[in-house]
Chains A and B, each alone.
Chain A
Amino acid sequence: MKSIGIDYGTGTSVLAEWMGTSSRIDTSITKEGLVLSDVIYGMDGKMILDIDPFLSTIACAKVERNIKRRLMAESESDNCVEIEYLKSLVVGRVSYIFHNFISNSSDAVAKVILTCPANTGQAYRESLFDIAKQVGLPSVDIVDEPTAAAVHHGLGQKATANERWMVIDWGCGTLDVSMIQRTAGSPDLKVVSIAGNNHLGGSDMDKLLADHLATKYGFISDDLKPYEAERIKKRLSDEIEVEDKLELFSGGNVPIKVTRDELELLVAPLIDKCSEIVEQALQDAHWESIGPDRIIATGGPILMPCVKRYLIELTDEYGAELNDRDPLTSVALGAARLAEIKRIGGLLVTSKVSKSIGIRVAEGDNTDVYHIVIHRGEERPVRRSVELSTSVDLQDIIEIEIREGDNESSAEANSMIARLNAVVRPDNKGSVRMKLNLSLSDNGGMEAYLEPLGDSNSLREVQPVGIKLGTERKGTATAELRAGDPVSEFKEQVLDINADPDTARQIYDRLKVKYHPDRQPENHDHWVQRLEAMDNLFNDYLRDIERQMQSSNVPNLPWDISDELESYYIDEVLAKRMTHCLANEIGTPGQQEVMTRLLKKYPDYRRILASYLFGIKRNKVLQDLLAKDDRPHVGLVVLLQNIPDKPIRERHEVLKAAYRVPEAKVREFLSNPALEIDKLYELVPSNAQAEVNPINGAPAHQKTDLQYEYLNGDTIITGNTYPVKDQIKAAARMRGTAASFDYGRKAWVIKGKHITDKDIFG
């Protein structure tokens, strides 16, 4: 069984295989193992994959260049047609490389690692998974290119001391810098920070050189045939001055002479940009003062003397060791080694989330709110959850857009990478609740799943678009061999001492590494479950922090602009928020006065006030508002409606009685500083006046002559029962039983209760 790594690059692609003790480049296509990533179309319009235009002079209709860079850029757009086209080009190229390899190999491939720039978001990684599926690659993981290079260069024995590596991967299309840490005694690699630029590569240098030569020799830059500038750039790595002829599309050659100094002057700004990215990565890792102790450099541009000089200066500055061998193949070689390590388990490689992942949510009328679920810089693998609910009444489908990016001001400004349509039972706004779990796994993939909160029937169906639906793991723990446990450690170190969010996140990250399932493959499922339990604790902790932050501030209203404030639309969400502020005296006295006024613009504000009061049982501000309201009965009824575990019919009678309690009495109940809401349930019927028919004002309960007989504990009622049959039934209900009419006796029978005139007529 073979493990292989494929580095699909902007300029060239490389496949390497693990040979047992080291990796080897597949040279079945070209002698050096480098296969041009570009795709050419022949004059007949067909894709030609087995001809290298670098070496060939065949007539071609079109050359598709920089496919990887274009796909990375388009993956963040909504241009599905272009994305699919570019993916088809990558599929063609990777398929050609892979099938060429397996046709020359006797062993089956068991594990594949595809590489991608570290500074690339989930959208491109998902595209790579799709490409791998179309090619037919088995068991694919996606790994950051700098990490793969680090594995090739630096992974030998366990670290004897704490090690800090800086990996600079400068390719044809992208520049990536990763800071990687190894702890003494451990073979594991931990990515501490990443930084990069996906528009800073060798091809940008080629463009600068082509433009320079076009100006110098008076031709149009676009007239230059592909690879001509690159050819000259490469020669200038070995020669001080180059004299050559450049081929033009329009026919003929242009004789040129160019020096290395000219080229170095052109690329100097790019090296400055590289330096800035390095500084950024050092800062993010908090290594500015100590620097790395090893610098690993890979990629075509590092063959240029000026880039090499920069690397040596950097190495000298920190007294670090420089590893820069195999610059064109180290990523693929490391990927092949990593594929084998991942296949057999044992080594842990964690990386960072390069772009935040969030969802689009609605807040009142604003439907373009971006809520980040997984933050940039979090350690991968990571699993986060967010609780959601329907945002409009009787909503049938909850459209969950999963987006990637760090623009917190607008959801639309971030790239949409997947969508889940949750088909739910229509219900009141906020009644259908569910938890969205999002996870970025260490194989590079993203999973999402929805679980209903409350009534499990409320979630009917989930329709995924562009996303793999996660499945619940059902493994059970067989044994616990480690002394510790991530859940109990997290509780001790975070929850028990109320740690701040930064500390909590650091502890969480550390425990994720300490208890990573790969460290103990024989108990993999057990540790997956324990880490998931810790994830849930951490998610709850984050939600609590957010809740506390929200609940301690007044709503974001134009407090200083009175006109705008008075015309502000008050929806239920804002009404609840203001009720919370009033109850807890949040805000200045002036703001509280305004909130009281604004709150009453919401028609159902009495329900909001009383429901909140029920939750906290007593509150002078809310009680006063309800007691002094022009309709105090509404608040009273809401309180009664909230008392749990009462029979429907009995509660119904109590609620009806509430409106027969005199208004003054209701105000007295509500303003009572020693209010006991549960006791209202008994106080209301005993203080209610007799019922009258609200249409004609006549007493609703007529008094008629009834005869009572008591047999075996039952009450038998005869006489003029018809006009008061509802009162008989209501009296039975109030005593917790039912009345039925016995047609044989022509009497009402109330089972098991002794009912009298007083029960029926009060």
Chain B
Amino acid sequence: MVMNINEAIQTLTQKLIDRGTTVISVEDLSKNGKYGNARLTTDSHEIYHVKYTKSGYKPKDSDRVSSGAKELDAKLKFAIKSFGNGEDTLNGIDEDLILYLLSMMNNGFVCFFVTVLSDGTTLWCRADSFYEFVMRYDTFFKFPKTNVPVCEVPMGWLKPWGEPIVGYPSKEI
């Protein structure tokens, strides 16, 4: 079981070591109000944004959605249905965090979004893929109180972090 962001960081650090990468710095973003989020930088110019969450966010049933939010609800459910691979929840991070990762990619880092669930399941994808998906399918939402947009992707769209993946190449045409 993974109980909190610190344990999630430890989990991810070990997984990165298993893949032959060394973590050189860890930035816990809780102090900036981004609870459950941290950034790990490796010796090979990579940034892994790790988010700890107990489980994904499951959108409400459609009949409980207010009329103003119906359009967003439809978009979220379309994304889940088309790309969720049978998993019906969403996961994501604040808009400013993903934009930060994009800006770091412009600076030569390769950035990944990683989420660690309480049962230890680790899912990940490249930060730019994450961002492009969100923008493409408009899977943003804002919580009325904070007014901070959150970028969401279907949990099943993220790739499971398993053993190092070995495969044959594809030939470029």
Contact = CB atoms under 8 A, between A and B. Distances in A.
B46 A388 contact: no
B67 A697 contact: yes
Contacts of B138: 633, 637, 659
A361 B168 contact: yes
Interface in B6-57: 19-20, 44-46
A367 interface: yes
Interface string A380-404: 0000001111111111111111000
25 contacts: A361-B168, A361-B171, A362-B167, A362-B170, A367-B167, A390-B167, A394-B165, A395-B166, A397-B164, A397-B165, A397-B166, A400-B168, A423-B20, A425-B110, A426-B165, A457-B44, A546-B173, A603-B82, A603-B83, A604-B83, A641-B135, A655-B135, A693-B68, A695-B141, A697-B69
A665 to B, nearest CB: 16
B132 to A, nearest CB: 6
A693 B170 contact: no
Contacts of B103: 648
A460 B20 contact: yes
A391 B69 contact: no
Interface in B91-140: 95, 99, 102-103, 106, 110, 112, 124-126, 129, 132, 135-138, 140
Contact of B168 (A399, A433, A637): A399
Nearest to A729: B96
A386 B171 contact: yes
A694 B68 contact: yes
Contact of A394 (B20, B99, B124, B171): B124
A698 interface: yes
Nearest to A363: B170
Interface of B: 19-20, 44-46, 66-69, 71-72, 78, 82-83, 95, 99, 102-103, 106, 110, 112, 124-126, 129, 132, 135-138, 140-144, 147, 159, 164-173
Contacts of A430: 170
A550 interface: yes
A694 B71 contact: yes
A460 B168 contact: no
Given A394-B124, A398-B169, A695-B144, A427 B110 contact: yes
A594 B142 CA distance: 41
B124 A388 contact: no
B113 to A, nearest CB: 12
A429 B169 CA distance: 10
Contacts of A322: none
Contact of B72 (A362, A547, A603, A695): A695
Given A603-B82, A634-B136, A648-B99, A396 B171 contact: no
A729 to B, nearest CB: 10
The 10 A-B residue pairs whose C-beta atoms are closest, nearest first, are: A697-B68, A388-B169, A387-B172, A396-B164, A694-B72, A391-B170, A397-B166, A603-B82, A362-B168, A655-B135
Nearest to B124: A394
B106 A648 contact: yes
A361 B169 CA distance: 5
B172 A433 contact: yes
B165 A694 contact: no
Contacts of B20: 423, 460
Nearest to A648: B102
Given A388-B170, A697-B66, 13 more contacts: A362-B169, A388-B172, A390-B170, A391-B169, A395-B167, A425-B46, A460-B44, A546-B173, A573-B170, A603-B83, A692-B68, A695-B66, A695-B68
A395 B19 CA distance: 11
A207 interface: no
A551 B75 CA distance: 35
B135 A637 contact: yes
Interface residues of A, number: 65
A726 B147 CA distance: 9
A212 interface: no
A700 interface: yes
A34 B78 CA distance: 80
B141 A694 contact: yes
A234 interface: no
Contacts of A695: 66, 68-69, 72, 141-144
A696 B19 contact: no
Contacts of B143: 695
A754 B126 CA distance: 38
A603 B78 CA distance: 10
A143 B135 CA distance: 61
A428 interface: yes
A547 B45 CA distance: 35
A306 to B, nearest CB: 51
B157 to A, nearest CB: 10
Contacts of A367: 167-168
Contacts of A431: 126
A389 B69 contact: no
Nearest to A654: B135
A638 interface: yes
A287 B165 CA distance: 52
Contacts of A363: 170-171
Nearest to B85: A603
A478 to B, nearest CB: 36
A652 interface: yes
Contacts of A457: 44-45, 110
Contacts of B125: 393-394
Contacts of A399: 166-169
A359 interface: yes
Interface in A665-717: 692-698, 700
A688 to B, nearest CB: 13
Interface in A391-449: 391-401, 421, 423, 425-431, 433
A395 B165 contact: yes
Contacts of B19: 396, 426
B159 A696 contact: no
Given A396-B165, A695-B143, A371 B171 contact: yes
B69 A694 contact: yes
Contact of A700 (B95, B126, B142): B142
Contacts of A516: none
Given A396-B19, A648-B102, A655-B135, A694 B142 contact: yes
Nearest to B101: A648
A693 B164 CA distance: 42
A350 B35 CA distance: 69
B47 to A, nearest CB: 12
Nearest to A364: B170
A68 interface: no
Contacts of A455: 110
Contact of A428 (B45, B126, B147): B126
B46 A389 contact: no
A649 B99 CA distance: 7
A214 to B, nearest CB: 50
Contacts of A530: none
A618 interface: no
Contacts of B110: 425, 427, 455, 457
Contacts of B147: 693, 700, 726
A43 B109 CA distance: 67
Contacts of A751: none
Interface in A273-322: none
A696 B144 contact: yes
A360 interface: yes
A396 B166 contact: yes
Which residue of A388, A603, A695 has the most chain B CB atoms within 10 A of its CB atom? Answer: A695
Interface in A652-668: 652, 655-656, 659
Nearest to B138: A659
A130 B170 CA distance: 31
Contact of A427 (B126, B168, B169): B126
Contact of B68 (A394, A395, A648, A696): A696
Given A425-B44, A460-B20, A697-B67, A394 B172 contact: no
A246 to B, nearest CB: 55
Nearest to A652: B99
